[in-house]
């Protein structure tokens, strides 16, 4: 290649470099100004966008609050099984933790993960805002049929299914925690030890 052409190319590149540097500096300055003008993070909005953030219901949190404990099992003021949370919301009682496990082993296929519902079964986190303990146990044991203009929904009976009925209280406790918003859409990271009473009742129910 002729020397003249190489020299011209070098001169052209040399002339472009200051322009590129100026452009980069201008972009950096613009980004810095935008960063300074950016609004601080909105924690409330972040929680709304976080699928794991619990939707807390103050009335239900008060209603479901544990008032007594017997052999590691907690009860609310109405005498129904309930959850207990400690360690700044990170540690759950054994029955709520067990209920989470049982729900995702036996119930989530129809009722959706984390009791959020599906196209053909209701969100149990909402159902537990209305159902009493006795009604819940009755539906699990005997099933339920809902007929509407949209069609018929049938909840099968699990009265003979020990994998469900032996853990009915656990399921109820977990779903109460989801209904009140005490438990978010995540697996509990910490739990209380399994009570001896729970071990005994499980063995007797399963026939082991």
pTM exceeding the 0.85 threshold for the entire prediction: no
Q: Which two tokens stand for residue 118?
A: 């599906």
Is there a single domain that holds both residue 89 and residue 163? yes
pLDDT tens, the chain, 208 aa long? 454 455 545 455 555 565 545 555 555 555 444 444 444 544 444 444 455 555 789 999 999 999 999 999 999 999 999 999 999 888 999 999 999 999 999 998 899 899 888 887 888 999 999 999 999 999 999 998 877 776 777 888 999 999 999 999 999 999 999 999 999 888 888 999 999 999 999 999 998 6
Please state, in angstroms and as integers, the Cα–Cα distance from residue 100 to each residue in 49, 55, 178, 184, following that order. 23, 17, 10, 11
Nearest-5° Cα angle at 69, 123 to 191: 60
Is there a single domain that holds both residue 75 and residue 168? yes
Q: Does 45 fall in a domain?
A: no
Is there a single domain that holds both residue 185 and residue 124? yes
| Cα 125 from Cα 183, distance rounded (Å) | 11
Count of domains for the chain: 2
Is there a single domain that holds both residue 170 and residue 81? yes
List the domain range (segments joined by +) for residue 186. 57-206
Q: What are phi and psi of 150, to 5 degrees?
A: -80, -15
**Largest distance between two CA atoms of the chain:** 97
Is there a single domain that holds both residue 159 and residue 79? yes
Is there a single domain that holds both residue 85 and residue 187? yes
């Amino acid at each position: 290649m002729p020397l003249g052409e190489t020299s011209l190319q070098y001169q052209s590149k040399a002339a472009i470099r200051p322009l590129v540097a100026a452009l980069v500096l201008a972009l950096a300055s613009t980004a810095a100004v935008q960063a300074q003008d950016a609004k601080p993070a909105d924690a409330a909005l972040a929680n709304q966008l976080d699928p794991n953030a619990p939707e807390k219901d103050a009335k239900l949190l008060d209603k479901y609050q544990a008032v007594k404990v017997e052999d590691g099992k907690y009860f609310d003021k109405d005498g129904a099984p309930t959850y207990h949370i400690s360690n700044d919301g990170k540690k759950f009682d054994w029955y709520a933790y067990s209920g989470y496990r049982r729900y995702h082993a036996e119930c989530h296929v129809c009722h959706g993960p984390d009791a959020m519902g599906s196209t053909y079964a209701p969100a149990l986190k909402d159902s537990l805002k209305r159902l009493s303990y006795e009604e819940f146990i009755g539906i699990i044991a005997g099933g339920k049929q809902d007929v509407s203009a949209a069609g018929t929904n049938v909840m099968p009976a699990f009265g003979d299914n020990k994998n469900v009925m032996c853990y009915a209280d656990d399921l109820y406790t977990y779903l109460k925690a989801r209904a009140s918003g005490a438990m978010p859409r995540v697996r509990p990271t910490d739990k209380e030890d399994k009570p001896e009473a729970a071990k005994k009742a499980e063995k007797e129910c399963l026939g082991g």
